[in-house]
Structure 1
Amino acid sequence: MVSTLSSALEIVARTDPGMVRRHNEDAVFANPNQGFVILADGMGGYNAGEVASGMATMLLSTELETAFSAKPPHAIDSETGKTFAHRCILDKVALTNSAIHNAAESQPQYAGMGTTLVAALFYDNQVTVAHIGDSRLYRLRGEEFSAITRDHSLLQEQIDSGMILAEDAKYSQNKNLVTRALGVDPEVETEIHDYAVQPGDIYLLCSDGLNDMVEDEEIQITVQMLAANLELAATQLIQMANDNGGRDNVSVILVKVLSEFPATRGWWSKLLAWFR
């Protein structure tokens, strides 16, 4: 395992309240050295969404930083046969969910608060993506721009069942009704998957304040045109959302893969890998 991923990944994180909301209930976090990013879009009463998203990013990031400092994410978990990254993320998200839920239950001003979550951990030439709700992760690879995550929302369920055509989804009244959220219930199901990473890939995490305001095609063109300047790309994406109305908070995290980042293994692990 390399000691830092900051030379292999370029990361830019931005969040903006938008043009309508007085408070920013989104939160973003990036750890370039350990190669993970987190984005949360809070929901709830006055200030409660801000508390939920803030708790999500801070608690989860602290737990992951501690865990991955003690054990590398590529290590194989003996109980599940999957990477330590998988088990760790699922465990730490569950812990974070409980903390937010308990705060909502014990403090009346936070009753009903919750947050979406999308997190990406880069290690050993792959990325593990975990998400809850309708915040998204897109990947730009060459000319192909695609959503890696699938929304946990009533609208997505209606599209999947054929009740609504995908092209008509933007006009739906159910656009922002999520079917999963962090902190709302005592337990939550986290969707988690692994994907191979290639140098040149650009990953975009965003809250719905971006993709509700800007078409995917426009997002793709912007990221492609400004791929050499992620700072400007992030600024431009937020500006586009605000120019189109900015009805919600808007957050973006851009991650560009600059080079390969294979894990450094001991001689025994290398020997086992050679015989496989």
Structure 2
Amino acid sequence: MANSSELRLTAVSRTHAGCLRAYNQDAVHVGDYVLAVADGMGGHAHGEVASSVAVTVLAELDAAVAAGEVAEIDKSAALGSVVGEVLRRLDALAARDSGMHGMGTTITALLWDGASLLGVHIGDSRAYRWRAGVIEQLTQDHTLVQSLLDSGRVTEEEAAVHPRRNLLVRAIQTGGPAEGDLFADPVQPGDRYLLCSDGLTAVLTDETIAGVLADLADPDAAVDHLIDLSLRGGAPDNVSVVLADVSLADPTAD
């Protein structure tokens, strides 16, 4: 593997309200160090508020890392603290406005440290790694159906049409606890990392997503095609995609 000083990460994003929703409760962040997708819930304005708060907290972390305010050994802890900070801010908003009680959001975020991507995840948005033609889901859906799958109580086929397949068992939601999953993934040149809301994966299979990442090297084209495929498939929910490519840095660049 190349030395971390020789690697760079570049990312693009796109979000769309989908075919059936009149509004978009998703929010994305693409910064120098932090990439994120947040899928808000709790009604039109409130879902948008929740996801906006999530990406605001993540943008603040991005700025802190860029400013050298987060030590290397503290990056994972800083990323992990995002979930609690988002919950604190949502609870504070709900305390001032009772109409916001119950709002919440998912978070799937990656933090670049030059050699690996650190991740935090809660909810049913997803992170994937595509490497040499093979796609791997790095996150576990925090849904009722996923728990039924894990326990062997339903099959993959039954899960795909389960009437409560969108029911979350973990998210950042006012008035309750929230605990995110933390992970780390060492990178290699040529890797592609995809973050997406469940609006994409509800329509496209992992195989379809992998095919797009394999066929379209241009990241903007790949993201546009993924969104367009989801829209052609009916896109019943908001759809958000962040795509990051790991490559060798240009040694002649400033």
Judge same fold: TM > 0.5, yes or no: yes
Indicate whether 1:98 and 2:96 are aligned: no
1:159 to 144, 149, 169: 149
Which letter does structure 1 place at the counterpart of 2:46? A
Q: How many residues align?
A: 245
Which letter does structure 2 place at the counterpart of 1:65? A
Q: 2-side partners of 1:186 and 1:209: how far apart? A: 25
Higher mean C-alpha displacement, 58-67 vs 47-56:
58-67
Contact 1:44–1:112 under 8 Å retained in 2: yes
Deviations 1:69-117 (A, max 9, x none): 23355x22xxxxxxx1111112233112110122123313322100000
Contact 2:34–2:58 under 8 Å retained in 1: no
Higher mean C-alpha displacement, 168-177 vs 57-66:
57-66
Q: 2-side partners of 1:106 and 1:63: how far apart? A: 25
Matches within 5 A, 1:124-203: 124-203=114-193
User: SS of the counterpart of 2:44?
Assistant: coil
Q: 2-side partners of 1:106 and 1:157: how far apart? A: 35
User: SS of the counterpart of 1:90?
Assistant: helix
Contact 2:127–2:194 under 8 Å retained in 1: yes
Contact 1:25–1:249 under 8 Å retained in 2: yes
Q: 2-side partners of 1:230 and 1:161: how far apart? A: 37
Q: 2-side partners of 1:106 and 1:185: how far apart? A: 13
Which letter does structure 2 place at the counterpart of 1:62? E
Which letter does structure 2 place at the counterpart of 1:29? H
Q: Please report how far the alpha carbon of residue 183 of structure 1 lies from its aligned counterpart in structure 2 after TM superposition.
A: 3.2
Q: Please report how far the alpha carbon of residue 46 of structure 1 lies from its aligned counterpart in structure 2 after TM superposition.
A: 3.1
Which letter does structure 2 place at the counterpart of 1:103? L
1:246 to 214, 235, 238: 235
Contact 1:133–1:180 under 8 Å retained in 2: yes
Indicate whether 1:115 and 2:105 are aligned: yes
Q: Please report how far the alpha carbon of residue 254 of structure 1 lies from its aligned counterpart in structure 2 after TM superposition.
A: 0.1
Contact 1:16–1:251 under 8 Å retained in 2: yes
Deviations 1:126-166 (A, max 9, x none): 11011000000011000211100011111100000111112
Which letter does structure 2 place at the counterpart of 1:38? A
Gap runs ≥5 in structure 1: 77-83, 262-276
Q: 2-side partners of 1:210 and 1:179: how far apart? A: 20
User: SS of the counterpart of 1:104?
Assistant: helix
Which letter does structure 2 place at the counterpart of 1:157? S
Q: So what's the TM-score if we normalise by structure 1?
A: 0.84
Gap runs ≥5 in structure 2: none
Higher mean C-alpha displacement, 145-154 vs 86-95:
86-95
Indicate whether 1:9 and 2:6 are aligned: no
* Structure exhibiting the larger radius of gyration computed from Cα positions: 1
Q: Which residue of 2 aligns with 1:81?
A: none
2:244 to 247, 250, 255: 255
Deviations 1:169-197 (A, max 9, x none): 11111211111111334531110011111
Given the superposition, is the C-alpha separation of residues 197 and 185 from structure 1 closer, same or farther in structure 2, using an over 3 Å criterion?
farther
Instruction: Report the aligned-residue RMSD.
Output: 1.8
